Amino acid sequence: MKRIFFVIIAFLCSMRIGHAQEVQYEEHNLRIIVDTVVCKQKIESILAADSVLGLWITSIYPSFPFSQDEMLQRVYSLNYTCSREQMESRLSVFSWIMQIMPIEIAPENMLYTPSDLFWKVTKTTDPSCLWHLTKIEAEKAWNITKGSPNVKIAVLDRIIDGTHPDLQSQLVYNYDPYTPSIKMEFDGINTHGTTVASFVAASTDDPENSPAKLASIGFNCKIVGYYQQNFLEKIHHAAFVEKVSVIVSCAGEGIRSRPQNEEIEKKVVKEILDHGTIIVAPAGNGWGGTHNDKNDKLIPFYPFHPSYDNRIIIVSSTDINDNHTYIRNGEDCTHSHFEEVTVCAPGYAMMGAFPGNPNYPYLQNCSGTSFAAPIVAGLCGLMKSVFPDLTPAKAKEILMSTADPIKDANLYPNMVGAGRINAYKAVLATQQYAETCQVSYKNQTISSTVNKEACTLKMENTVIKKGASVTFTIDTEAELGEGFSVEEGATFEIRTR
């Protein structure tokens, strides 16, 4: 019998809810996972040949068209005109359809709703207040995970004001852990680090009357603040001593338009990424932006330059209407774009934290890839919360494969990345990847050809028989336990990616 797989996300909207919400599903859209033996053309021809399905189905397309993951490549979305029950019943007779997955509807009253004042304003009177969160579907992402306090995100920037009401509970330390004499207290001059940190993981879900009024994509993830000096040493410290999951840096001495000590920089960056720490960097703020004045073209910053390692995530900006172009008071203020950009994120005219004004510690016109990049870093924190073994390469791939279109991308061909991030789609794809990528063999005999991709591999009491050809391509680690053996005449190979 065909197994129909329902993805159900359980959550509480409020402690005042006294009864369970009825789960609802999209009526004319569902996903299927197909067997490896079929391709899109074959699927279309088989379904079109069915006299009933040929009339019901209006379109079929890959759900994750840019994914390199073997399982996600086999996920397809179907649009149809009949009822969901009729479609599920008809599809269930095809043996090559491995799973049928109705898509849950998340109506407004079922989405997770933080209690912060600015979030309430955004949802009731001023949609532009925290537009950057609604645009990336943060609410739906928070239904899957609100982040983990065990996931730490390093911010290397100016001083962060650790006394700010939206940050004081979010900083792991009130000092720079590499140089403890540097305190995370507003110095009366530098504001940039405080604003950057607020887009990573400002305190979220505070009472409406709390002095903490923001909400942030990173939610429960925590921040480790570093002052910008001794940049290479500090990013290495963040990865190997503090064991942060994500590093983001957007200002100061650390990022430059020219390399310095290239061999050392490259080795440090590679070792951090090999360790599993995700690196997110801003693309820059166009020709008028900091660090761009010495170049004849817009380029990524060093040492987070993709020529050192292509697993680095480079972020540019989009506005409230999903355009990359940004004109302000008749002046072109569009942020940087070039071939190495990975994705875009909201980065123009946003609400963020601002130190120095105890009566209103917020800034309502925050623009810059310095603020787009930390949104991506906070999203990576959510993804790491779902799957701690997520590698930098896989995180980048998921962000790209789940991005939404940028309206004016045609004006910047191949220069604004894969699209604008969608937090919900990225977290969901991470969750699905985590559920399927961990391969385990126990008490088995393999006598045929196997070629699989996996994030982790565990084999115990398993024999690779003569004549078998077995290859695994893995992300992190393989454990070949007791009773594992390879007979003479068999081939067994583990590759890393």
Residue 225's beta-bridge partner residues? 155
- Quick one: fold of 111-434? Rossmann fold (3.40.50)
Tens digit of pLDDT for each residue in 165-212?
999 999 999 999 999 999 999 988 889 999 999 999 999 999 888 899
Structure confidence at residue 261 (pLDDT): 80
Q: DSSP E strands: which ranges in 329-377? A: 331-332, 343-346, 350-353, 362-366
Structure confidence at residue 44 (pLDDT): 80
| Domain regions of the chain by residue span | 25-107, 111-434, 437-496
- Residue 12 CA to residue 39 CA, distance in Å, equals 40
Those residues of the chain that have pLDDT short of 70 are 1-24, 64, 66-68, 104-110, 252-254, 288-296
Tens digit of pLDDT for each residue in 97-121?
888 888 766 454 457 778 889 999 9
Query: Please, what is the Cα angle at 148 between 145 and 149, to 5 degrees?
Result: 155
Structure confidence at residue 292 (pLDDT): 56
Sign (positive or negative) of CA dihedral 109, 111, 115, 119? negative
Structure confidence at residue 252 (pLDDT): 61
Structure confidence at residue 173 (pLDDT): 97
215 in Cβ contact with 352 (< 8 Å): no
- Residue 364 CA to residue 295 CA, distance in Å, equals 31
Structure confidence at residue 352 (pLDDT): 96
Structure confidence at residue 21 (pLDDT): 42
Which string of DSSP letters, residue by residue, matches 235-300? HHHHHHTS--SEEEE-SGGG-BSS-SSHHHHHHHHHHHHHTT-EEEEE---STTSTT-TT-SS--P
136 in Cβ contact with 423 (< 8 Å): yes
- Residue 199 CA to residue 195 CA, distance in Å, equals 7
Structure confidence at residue 275 (pLDDT): 94
Structure confidence at residue 7 (pLDDT): 34
466 in Cβ contact with 488 (< 8 Å): yes
Q: Which class in CATH covers the domain with range 25-107? A: alpha beta
CA dihedral 306, 308, 313, 316 (to 10 degrees): -40
